[in-house]
Amino acid sequence: MVLLLAGYQIYEFIICFFELRSRLIVYFALVNISFLPPFGLTLALIVYGIKDKLTLVLPFIPFIFFTIYFALNIKLIAVTECTILYAAYNYPFGLVYGFSYFFLIYFAMYFLLLLLSYLNEKKKEKKKLILILLIGFVLTFVPINVLFMSSRIYAGLVESLQCKVAFVLAIAFTYFGLKNQNIVKGIEKSFKTD
């Protein structure tokens, strides 16, 4: 997931700094960042204890659809603005895309909160790690949603601004992954074919 965040920043740098605003590069940037929510929810589901492969694959379906749809309608994708802090995009079904994106993120936060409420005091270390992961999600996504809801002006900036604050999430993912090698291995096993 950290690679997705870094990859998006590289695409944005290419788009804005080098002014390579081809629809194909913008498409790759959108596809890249689109898979953060499904991976985030999958991580939360695995940490929660869900191992059913179908359940773990379901979060990816909407974004596979968007990937295909955007590819078929690449002429409708464009950069509308570039600055030092953000890039703004225009793409079809932006509201549906945004709803799908944030729904999965908030669902992941829900599972992490649920897990925190179930853990007893004997599992302080696990509770601490899940709390760090949850804080990473909250600090990355909640302020951007508040900004988005406060003014429609920010609607086209969501992906870009969010990735600027996502370093908090990247730190949380990294720390969580380093301290939870068993969960990282569990994620790898969950996606291996039998």
Q: Residue 43 pairs with which residues in a beta bridge? A: none
Residue 27: is its pLDDT beyond 70?
yes
Give the CA angle between residues 15, 20, 26 to the nearest 5°: 55
Number of helical H runs and strand E runs in the chain: 10, 2
pLDDT band at residue 5, thresholds of 50, 70 and 90? confident
pLDDT computed for residue 126 by the predictor? 86
Residue 89: is its pLDDT beyond 90?
no
Residue 21: is its pLDDT beyond 70?
yes
pLDDT computed for residue 162 by the predictor? 79
Instruction: Report the 3 state secondary structure along 4-63.
Output: HHHHHHHHHHHHHCCCCCCHHHHHHHHHHHHCHHHHHHHHHHHHHCCCCHHHHHHHHHHH
Percent of the chain's residues with pLDDT above 70:
91
- In the chain, the N- to C-terminal Cα span, in Å, equals 24
How far apart are the C-alpha atoms of 141 and 139, rounded to whole Å?
6
77 in Cβ contact with 25 (< 8 Å): no
Short-list 166, 49, 19, 20, CA closest to 101: 166
pTM recorded for the entire structure: 0.86
pLDDT digits (tens, 9 = 90+) for 109-159: 999 999 999 888 778 888 999 999 999 999 999 988 888 778 777 766 676
Phi and psi at residue 121, in whole multiples of 5°?
-65, -20
pLDDT band at residue 23, thresholds of 50, 70 and 90? very high
